[in-house]
Amino acid sequence: MTTAPLVAGVDSSTQSTKVVVCDASTGAVVRTGRAAHPDTTEVDPQVWWDAFTEASAGLLDGVRAIGVGGQQHGMVTLDEAGNVVRPALLWNDTRSGKAADDLVAELGGPHIWADAVGSVPVASFTVTKLRWMAEHEPELADRVTRILLPHDWLTWKLTGELVTDRGDASGTGYFSPAKNAYREDILATAFGGRAPELPRVLGAREAAGRTESGILVSAGTGDNMAAALALGLGEGDVVVSLGTSGTVFGVCETAPADPTGIVAGFADATGRFLPLACTLNAARVLTATATALGTDLAGLDRLALAAEPGAGGLTLLPYLDGERTPNLPDAAGSLHGLRRANMTLENLARAAVEGMLSGLAAALDALQDNGIIARRILLIGGAAQSGAVRAVAPIVFGLPVVVPEPAEHVALGAARQAAWALAGTGEPPAWSEDKPQLLPAGDSTAGQELRQRHLEIRELVHHIQ
Ligand X SMILES: Nc1ncnc2c1ncn2[C@@H]1O[C@H](COP(=O)(O)OP(=O)(O)O)[C@@H](O)[C@H]1O
Ligand Y SMILES: O=C(CO)[C@@H](O)[C@H](O)COP(=O)(O)O
Judged by the rule CB under 6 A, the positions of this chain that interact with ligand Y are 13-14, 71-73, 91, 124, 171, 222-224, 243-245, 247, 276, 278
358 counts as binding ligand X under rule CB under 6 A? no
Number of neighbouring beta carbons within 10 Å of residue 290: 20
Residue 287 binding: pick among ligand Y, ligand X, none (C-beta 5-8 Å cut-off by kind): ligand X
As measured in angstroms, the least distance from the Cβ of 380 to ligand Y is 10
**Position 381 contacts ligand X (CB under 6 A):** yes
223 tagged catalytic: yes
Instruction: Confirm whether residue 71 is marked as ligand binding.
Output: no
| Binding status of residue 370 toward ligand X by CB under 6 A | no
Contact of residue 145 among ligand Y, ligand X, none (CB under 5-8 Å per partner type): none
> DSSP states of 220-283 as a string?
-EEHHHHHHHHHT--TEEEEEEESSSEEEE--BSS----TTSSSEEEE-SSSSEEEEEEES-SH
Decide if residue 14 touches ligand X (CB under 6 A): yes
In whole angstroms, the minimum distance from the beta carbon of 186 to ligand Y comes to 18
Q: Cα–Cα distances in Å, from 229 out to 71, 93, 267, 422?
A: 15, 27, 12, 16
Per CB under 6 A, the segment of 19-27, 284-292, 315-323, 418-426 that binds ligand X is 284-292
**Would you say 39 or 459 has its CB closer to ligand X?**
39
Percent helix / strand / coil, the chain, rounded to 5: 35, 25, 40
Nearer to ligand Y, 224 or 370 (CB): 224
Residue 177 is which amino acid?
A: P
Q: Among ligand X, ligand Y, none, what does residue 73 contact (CB within 5–8 Å per kind)?
A: ligand Y
Q: List the catalytic residue out of 23, 223, 258, 301.
A: 223
Q: How far is the CB of 130 from ligand X (least distance, A)?
A: 23
Cβ distance to ligand Y smaller for residue 94 or 342: 94
**Within positions 243 to 282, which residues make up the interface with ligand X, using CB under 6 A?**
243-244
Closer residue to ligand Y in complex, CB, 33/171 = 171
What CA–CA distance (Å, rounded) separates 294 from 345? 10
> Which entry of ligand X, ligand Y, none binds 284, CB below 5 to 8 A by partner kind?
ligand X
Q: Is 284 in the site for ligand X (CB under 6 A)?
A: yes
Least separation in angstroms between residue 454's CB and ligand Y is 21
Shortest distance in whole angstroms from residue 224 CB to ligand Y: 5
SS (H, E, C) 318-336: CCECEECCCCECCCCCEEE
Peptide bond into 394 cis (omega under 30): no
Strand partners, 200: 163
From ligand Y, ligand X, none, interface partner of 297 (C-beta below 5 to 8 A by class):
ligand X
Helix 345-369 × helix 283-292 angle, to 10°: 170
Looking at residues 289 to 328 of the shown chain, list those that interact with ligand X (rule: CB under 6 A): 297
* Binding residues for ligand X restricted to 133-172, rule: CB under 6 A: none
Residue 417 is assigned to a ligand binding site: no
The residue among 70 and 312 lying less far from ligand Y, judged by its C-beta, is 70
Exposure pattern of 394-429 as b/e (b: 16+ CB <10 Å)? bbbbbbebbbbeebbbbbbbbbbbbbbbbbeeeebb
Q: What is the chain's alpha carbon radius of gyration, rounded to the nearest angstrom?
A: 21
**How far apart are alpha carbons 458 and 465 in whole angstroms?**
8
Per-residue binding letters, 169-208, with ligand X (x by CB under 6 A): ----------------------------------------
Q: Is 41 in the site for ligand X (CB under 6 A)?
A: no
What letter does residue 39 receive in the DSSP assignment?
S
Q: Are 303 and 295 in contact (CB under 8 A)?
A: yes
Q: What is the dihedral of CA 187, 190, 196, 202, to 10 degrees?
A: -30
Binding interface with ligand X (CB under 6 A): 13-16, 243-244, 283-284, 286-287, 297, 381-383, 385-386
| Catalytic residue ranges | 223
